Amino acid sequence: MGQGRELVEQYFKAVNAADLDAVRAVLTSDAKFAAPGPAIGGPDMVVAWMGPFLDAFPGIDHQIVNLVESGDDVATEITVKGTHTKPMVTPQGELPPTGKSLDLKAVNVMRLRDGRIAALRIYFDQMDFMGQLGLLPG
């Protein structure tokens, strides 16, 4: 253990800084990506999926709660905390800021290759996300 943790920490530091160039820099050019949405693709999809979210939650904070490393695979349990203060562009249109705080649990599963992330899968409860933002019918 060690190199995988360092790479994952570098990735989350870039995400927390909303530095999508730095996020792209830790991905292989052929990285595979999957996340709720459904979003499937490569490095361009990572940036396209994360960008609107990071824009809508300035200062968002991803913290590693648990990290498990096995060979080239790393799984992280994280907390994602932030406040929805800016519009979020979605495939369904622009979501105005709700002003609501988010405290979400998520899991990121990564496959590493040659000191970079070659595959990234993100999992979180979308209903919990929407509920925390007050977007579910009451």
CATH code, 92: 3.10.450.50
Helix (H) or strand (E) holding 16: helix 3-16
What is the C-alpha separation between 20 and 46, in angstroms, rounded? Answer: 9
Whether the CB-CB separation of 57 and 83 falls below 8 Å is answered with: yes
pLDDT in tens, 76-123: 999 999 999 999 998 889 999 999 999 999 999 999 999 999 999 999
**Is position 76 within any domain?**
yes
Total number of domains in the chain: 1
Q: Which two tokens stand for residue 110?
A: 């990564």
**Is position 10 within any domain?**
yes
pTM reported for the whole predicted model: 0.93
Whether the CB-CB separation of 104 and 124 falls below 8 Å is answered with: yes
pLDDT in tens, 43-83: 999 999 999 999 999 999 999 999 999 999 999 999 999 99
